A and B are shown apart, each in its own frame.
Chain A
């Protein structure tokens, strides 16, 4: 059951390209072709404009909230080849950093799990992925993966912070030995998985091939304690795949076709409990799939299938209302 509880009039002057709630679900950030980023307080069904952020010189594609432990921090990426990191200072939002290391449109930004520190992955149409790590004192370290995806990277999504092996083995008090990974999707029709090596270099770990056209979005499912890793991907080819990996090495990924749409699928988004997937596609359609077989304990069979269950379809008609 999907019921609209709030309709926010953003007053954007052009197409909206992304809308993301913060960690608590109390603030909404939107971005648009009108080059602006807006932040609304949407608590208790309200819609109070908190900030109208200007700084991009082209359409803004995506926004991403950092974990609140780092304060109120928002990243945005734009066709203007820039990534801007905004921060609330004394109640007002301002630009705190501008990353100009890309040669083309930056299509996707995604913050790493907060356990790693403040790290932002950015995917660009120049084919590269850059990783910005905040090193303190206003400094950001940049690592760049060139030619990650020919013609362009459309999406980046971090793997949840999972410590390899048992949690019990971790010596207490010591920083857990996380293995940082993220997925990217691009115009080469590929999904690639990247892993940080011990020397801090990023290396391509896997290529996932199933799509026959641009991969529009990838979304690594939140961890809910299962050893299975799950990624959703969607493509220009209308297909949505659910990729799962059960083995400890993390290399045996197998795709399952969730659905084939007749139009491009732009975006996939997991619910926090990782059992619902929202798929938004051409024809202004949002479909919500629920995994009915989803189990909540690790005791369950590792290789769970995804019995497709279309929960709801939200149509936006020509006038923009459902």
Chain B
């Protein structure tokens, strides 16, 4: 804009200079006295054509004329219009219009420029040729008219039809496709007059209106080829300078009068043609031109000899806007068809100005120059910026900042009638407005302004699968779920994964894993048998055995001890002198391996180990390394160095032999090797290893790597497996399951986000990991809780807010009356709670005997909000909601550390005494120090039991260690914390019940044990002197213990044995209560009834009595032992002992 380059950058900062206007309502200027025509609405960019006005009255009296085309470039802040082309014309123009006909000729510009000349001529120009600089720009020309052609209009329905008007009442209809012969709309009106205006109806294509300076308007029907109505107020003072049809209402039109005595705009409705519908008397002198906005029928521009440009609402007569102009008259005014806010006005002072109707500053540069010295700011803060302006150092550069108010009423095109916005939870807010017809404007019908809130769901399958998963988690129907997944699996790998996952929920999981890997024990047994048969045949074997047995008794007889010089003799001598070492060496030397080993065993541990080593060094068979590993218990060696093709075998070996404390690590190791070294197929198999290892995080990583897409369904694929695996791990290992790794947390929150986006807020909440302090997860949780319509999570207990609260002016920091206000709390206070979960879990898993005697009604979980999340799966470490609840510490002294930040996910759904819940408990494997690995072959002859016990005794002192290893967390619930003094009767080492050590002998020495693990109390071994059980109740103890023993002796699978073991221990609670005599008579008598039914082996009756007791008694009284009693009864019933 004429040198003001600082406006171009538009980077005016805070202290923006007052000399620069924020914006102008005047956009562009062209120094021409010319008729003007905007390019049609279809055309982009916007052009303005100007043709030298025939009425030009400039000082030069020049007769030259030109047709020019300018481009309206609004991104250029300067006032100059960009000139695109100039064509020197031999004509001057009375009228110039730009019709869209013949669009798409070529180039950017299209349509046809139609000019009305001085001598009855109509000329058609090709604007694209003008812009291209062609010399031949005239398409056609016709001189049929008489006198100056002042009126031209293009039919908007048939753009090839152009109407023109000239002197002598001449009206022609031109077909641009057949320009030579125009038509007439009917007989000429009499008396002959000049036609000053002509306009096609905007609604009905065959209706045309014409008007003349004498004040009459005629409406023509081209179908009838005659005038159908004449409009006149008979005042004889209307000198029509303008005629325009209503853009929307077919029967309405306005006429403008040039007469200073009647400077009005009349609004007519042809249905009431006797008098104007409305008269607009806003101009002081005659009106020279009018223009009705096609974009908003409530905007009519008019300019007059009073030098005003007004914008009025012809439907009401109200002036909406007055354009600030100088004192010159405007003789032509036009709306830009494409940009509805833009208009142009041609004035007699030789200028065409382009304005915006949207207001802004009136400060054009010229204006500014005029006003330069006029005044300075009267107000130190004219822009309401809240910042006083700096002192004015160069006052002459400032100008008055004249703000032109925008239209009183916003134009239609800025009134957004419809909208749709997404919000949290996949909700879509929409509204729309009814189109009101202007003619009904007066009788505004009762409109209802509604806003709709819709739920947008795009992932139906995803949602249904997610719901299924939740349902499974809730109902604990993992096995059947996995089975369904197996059945539905499309790929072998998928099937394998689900099979592995399923095994986790079955007894003897390791054995089942082995089966999945192709090692079925029965099959193997058969194979071995047949292999043996092949060699010897069954008869031979039996015979041999017979021989042996026949031989052995005779061993008691005399035999010859040879001391000859041969090897035998030397061995004999060595043995006789107790020199086992030499004897063994001799045997080895003589390749008598079996003798060597036997002797080495007799020679003690050290010798045996040496002998084994020598044996392995000597033996080179294919399976030596395996045997080595088996004997040396060096599974790491296998896992680390096996050929990856043999990963199955390696995994099988680990499954068979590894101790629980190393099992996971070994599976992990194998998985990691597969992942990093193997080919792509093996990489995916790593997933299976991680499933065995229960390593959720690694499974996620491996899976993510192996699966390509992460669309909702593939995310669902992953989450299903992860959730099931976590459940499995929680059930079986209770180890590290509560900590959510970074990757898993990311996936889970992605998943939660996706669920939320589909409107499943509750499900999202259920799946969101709650024991992480990742801010995005914490915030998502808060958002989900509130979206559910609940108060912020944990608000009752301790206010939480996932972000630091910021304050607005005058805002009170804390919660105000608004219920949604959140109290201000330092952000870091938010996090500690999330650390607690692991502790809780650890505690509850470690101390299966530490059942609280308080009713869970006191549990904080019951103080949660009115809408707890669905009992879905929450990533708490707790194995089982039911058990978890029962084990929640509820003594008041622990409440403060236990307060859950959010509605308690562990909340029991089915009741505390749900039997399956208890079945799960003993399954927890996290007792590595008590696990009896396959007994090494070092002691095939030595007393295996003794060896066991010595091991156990050695390990005993270290029992509590794993607990304290988590000392980084608060440990309010450690068994050592004595929350249940006096009630808890830890079983001290010597006082182990008989059942305790029994299972240890179960497996033959050296046999794989797998899941067979024993629980040992990790409680302090201090001796507590107990009162004796009253004699009359002793029968209960003996009956129950006897029953457990009977069950134990007939139970075959280790799983059951463990359950029974555990039950035996838990029944101590009952015995304690008997000692304390705290049980109510009802319960006591019920227990005696059960005992009697046990005596009669009527276990089902016992169970019925049990149920009765439980349903009628106080929870706190019986919760510690009744569930186990039920387990025992159930087992007894099952085993039929």
Contact = CB atoms under 8 A, between A and B. Distances in A.
A213 B338 contact: yes
B1027 interface: no
Interface in B424-479: 424-435, 447-458, 460
B981 interface: no
B449 A12 contact: yes
A173 interface: no
What is the size category of the interface that chain A forms with chain B? 35 or more
Contacts of B787: 24-26
A59 B431 CA distance: 16
Contacts of A303: none
Of B27, B428, B709, B712, which is in contact with the most chain A CB atoms at under 10 Å from its CB? B428
Given A26-B789, A127-B22, A296 B711 contact: yes
A266 B757 contact: no
B710 A296 contact: yes
A267 B415 CA distance: 12
Contacts of B567: none
A320 B456 contact: no
B764 to A, nearest CB: 12
Contacts of B457: 1-3
A4 B812 CA distance: 37
Contact of B13 (A7, A143, A276): A143
Contacts of A99: 384
B418 A148 contact: no
Interface string A271-297: 111011011111011101010001111
A38 to B, nearest CB: 10
A146 interface: yes
Contacts of B820: 26-27, 68, 72
Interface string A123-136: 00111100000101
A118 B421 contact: no
A73 B808 contact: yes
Contacts of B817: 90-92
B404 to A, nearest CB: 8
Interface residues of B, number: 106
B107 interface: no
Contacts of A151: 27, 74, 339, 341-342, 356, 358
Of B23, B361, B786, B804, which is in contact with the most chain A CB atoms at under 10 Å from its CB? B23
A280 B410 contact: no
Interface stretch (B3-11, B113-121, B214-222): B3-11
B421 A267 contact: yes
B449 A90 contact: no
A190 B453 contact: no
Contact of A267 (B22, B403, B418): B418
Contact of B811 (A89, A275, A278, A290): A89
A152 B423 contact: no
B447 to A, nearest CB: 7
B556 to A, nearest CB: 77
Contacts of A134: 808-809
A117 B359 CA distance: 32
Interface string A208-233: 00001110000000000000000000
A87 B425 CA distance: 24
A140 B810 CA distance: 13
Interface in B787-806: 787, 789, 801, 803-806
B810 A5 contact: no
Nearest to B804: A69
Contacts of A266: 416-419
Interface in A185-217: 187-190, 200-204, 207, 212-214
Contact of A296 (B7, B387, B410, B715): B715
B385 to A, nearest CB: 4
Given A87-B811, A104-B359, A204-B10, A21 B421 contact: yes
Contacts of B564: none
B423 A21 contact: yes
Contact of B429 (A13, A21, A85, A87): A21
Contacts, number: 383
A71 interface: yes
A212 B40 CA distance: 13
A314 B757 CA distance: 20
B432 A316 contact: yes
A142 B406 CA distance: 23
B435 A88 contact: no
A32 interface: yes
A20 B383 CA distance: 29
A68 to B, nearest CB: 8
Nearest to A69: B803
Given A5-B454, A269-B420, A71 B23 contact: no
A138 interface: yes
B77 interface: yes
Given A19-B429, A190-B75, A105 B22 contact: no
Of A99, A103, A118, A126, which is in contact with the most chain B CB atoms at under 10 Å from its CB? A103
Contacts of B453: 4-8, 21, 28, 42
B149 interface: no
A21 B821 contact: no
B359 A286 contact: no
Contact of A201 (B13, B423, B424, B807): B13
A96 interface: yes
A187 B11 contact: no
Given A21-B453, A126-B358, A286-B428, 14 more contacts: A16-B431, A24-B786, A69-B805, A72-B821, A79-B414, A89-B812, A98-B384, A105-B410, A137-B809, A138-B810, A147-B10, A266-B417, A272-B757, A295-B710
9 contacts: A9-B448, A20-B429, A68-B822, A71-B811, A142-B386, A146-B20, A148-B10, A311-B456, A322-B452
